Amino acid sequence: MLTRRACLAAAAATPLLTAPPVAVAADVEAARSAMRRATRFMTEQAATNGGYVWSYLPDFSRRWGEMEAWPSMIWTQAPGTPEMGQIFLDAWRATGEAQYLDAAVVAGDALIRGQHPSGGWNYVIDFDGEASLRRWYETVGKNGWRLEEFQHYYGNATFDDHATVECGRFLLRLALATHLPRVRAAVDRTIAFVLDSQLPSGGWPQRWPRADEFHNHGRPDYSGLITLNDEVMDENIDFLLLVLQQWGRADVEPAIRRAMACYRGLQQPAPTPGWALQYTPDFKPAWGRTYEPAAVSPHVTAVAIERMLDFYRLTGDRGFLTRLDEALDWLAQVEAPAAAHHEGRNYFRYVEPETNRFIAVHRRGSNAQNGEYYVDYDITGQRGEKHIDLPRLRRRVEQVAALTPEDAVRQSALLGRGPSLLPDYVITRPQGGSDLNVAASRPGMTPVTLLIEELNAEGYWPVELRTTSHAYRGDGPVAPPPGFVDRGQVGDEWDTSPFTEDSGPMGISTGAYINNMAWLIAWVRQAKSP
C-alpha cells in the first residue's frame, strides 16, 4: 500500500502543484468553469449520500475502493471521501464559491453518518446498514487473498491506512471553517477515540475497540498489537498535535508525550537496533498479516529515525537522539546486495531480529481458500522493495543533533510557537493513497489548458482504469485450478483482490478529480496573487 508518509517522502522530488507564471484572465475563468462542471458531476452523479469511492465505470455498473464496492458504500481510505472534502475546501478558499463549501459539508455529513459509536471509522461505510456490510465482508472481503484486513468483519474502527485520522483531520478543518455544532461534536468524538484507544504502553493498536478474538490463518489476531505499520503512531501523534494547536485541547499533550516515549522505547537492542511494523505489549516484534513476519524493518527504521529527530525538535529532549547512530550503522549493514537493487529500491522489507538474516515472503495456492503465504531465508530472485537514502538521512541526523535543546524547540508546535499545522491549502502535491490506478498514472505537471480541454461533455476527466478485480463468484476451489500460474497481485478467478493489467476501460477516478482540481486551484490562486 502507498501510505501518506511514503507519499510525502516520495514527494520530496515531486513538484508542488503550482501554476505557470502568467495566468490570463480568460483562461482563469475557463479553469473556474471547468472546476464547477467537474464538481457538479462528482457531487450529483458519483457521490453516494455525499461520499465517494475511488473509481467507477462510466455507467456506474461497477465501482471500487481498495476492493470492489457496492453502490451503497463509500470509502474513508485515501483518495476517498476525506480527501474529496479537503479539495472542496481548497476550491472554496481559492474561489469563495458556495458550491464547494456545500459539497464539503455534505461530504462531512456522510462521514459523520458513518462514524463508529466509539468515534473512529472503518475503511468503508455502507449506508444500507451493518447487515449489508457484514454480507460484503463475508463475500467480496473474505475472498481477497492478499488483503487479509478485509477477510473479517471486526465491527470496530481502524487507524490503518489513516482511515480514522484522515476523517478527523478533514472534519476538524471543516469545523473551523463552518462552526457547525454537529461537525464540532464529530471532531470531539474523534479526539476521544484517539485518546481512549491509546494503550498503556503509549502506543496504539491498528483497530479499536478490541473485537472478538479472531484467528488470522492460524495465528492470533494482530489488530490489537502496538502498531507502527502504515504510520499508525506517526499519524496519531500528528493529529493530536493538530488538535493541541488548532483546537486548544491542552489535555492531549500527555498522550503525545507518552506516545513519543513509547516510540523511542520500541527501538530494538543490538544487533538489530531498528524498529518493527508491530509489537507485542513487551515491545517485541510481532507477526501482523501472514506476509508480515515478526521482523525488524529497514524502511520503518528510516521513518522512525526521522521521527526521533522530530520529537527532539518538539521537546528538546536529547534522549531521542541517543541511539540514532546505532540505527544508521545497522541500516548500512543490512542494505540489500547490489544485484537485488531495483529501480532505486535498495532494501528488503524484513530482517530477522538478533540474526540480521533477510526474510523472504512467498506464497502458494491460488485463492483465499487454498492459498497461503510463508516465509524463509531464500532471497534468490528477490528484489529490493524500499528506497532509503542513507547519506541524506545521516546528514539530517548530524544537522539536528548539532542544535542545542533551546534552538531545537525554538519553533516547537508542542510549545505553541511553531507554524500552523493546518495549511490554507491541503492538497498541494499529487495524491495517490492506495489507489493503484492513480499510482500507475504517475501524475505530473499538466498544462491547465489541456486539463480544461480533457474534461468531457459529461463533466469528468476520463482515466484508463487499469486496476480492476474479479467480480465475486463464490468461495474459491479448495485446490488451484489446472494450469494456474500465480501473477503475484491476484490469484485465480475467485480471488477478489485488485490487480493491474496492461490496459483497461476508460472510467471515472476520484484521485484524478482531486489532482486535476488541485492544478486548477493553483492556477486560480496564482491569478489572484498581486
Q: Residue ranges per domain, the chain?
A: 20-197+435-478+510-529
Q: Is the pLDDT of residue 2 over 80?
A: no
Q: How far apart are CA 240 and CA 159, in angstroms?
A: 14
Q: How far apart are CA 44 and CA 459, in angstroms?
A: 11
Query: What does the pLDDT look like over 163-188, one tens digit per residue?
Result: 999 999 999 999 999 999 999 999 99
The interaxial angle of helices 232-242 and 181-196, nearest 10 deg, is: 130
Each as own residue / partner, the long-range contacts of residues 278-282 (CB below 8 Å, 24 or more positions apart, any chain) are 278/206, 278/222, 278/225, 278/226, 278/227, 278/228, 278/229, 279/203, 279/225, 279/226, 279/227, 279/228, 280/225, 280/226, 281/199, 281/200, 281/201, 281/225, 281/226
Q: For residue 111, give the nearest of 190, 178, 66, 51 by alpha carbon.
A: 51
Please tell me the predicted confidence (pLDDT) of residue 440.
Answer: 66
Among 115-129, 171-185, 437-451, 502-516, the range scoring the smallest mean pLDDT is 437-451
Neighbours of 153 (CB within 10 A): 18
Instruction: Indicate the pLDDT class of residue 16, thresholds 50, 70 and 90.
Output: low
Instruction: Indicate the pLDDT class of residue 430, thresholds 50, 70 and 90.
Output: confident
Q: How far apart are CA 382 and CA 362, in angstroms?
A: 10
Instruction: Indicate the pLDDT class of residue 5, thresholds 50, 70 and 90.
Output: very low
Q: Is the pLDDT of residue 212 over 50?
A: yes
Please tell me the predicted confidence (pLDDT) of residue 4.
Answer: 40
Query: What does the pLDDT look like over 351-399, one tens digit per residue?
Result: 999 999 999 999 999 999 999 999 999 999 999 999 999 999 999 999 9
Neighbours of 212 (CB within 10 A): 9
Q: Quote the mean pLDDT of the chain.
A: 93
pLDDT, greater one: 216 or 236: 236
Average pLDDT over residues 289-293: 97
> With left for phi above 0 and alpha for psi between -120 and 50, is residue 177 left, alpha or beta?
alpha
Q: Are 399 and 333 in contact (CB under 8 A)?
A: no
Please tell me the predicted confidence (pLDDT) of residue 133.
Answer: 98
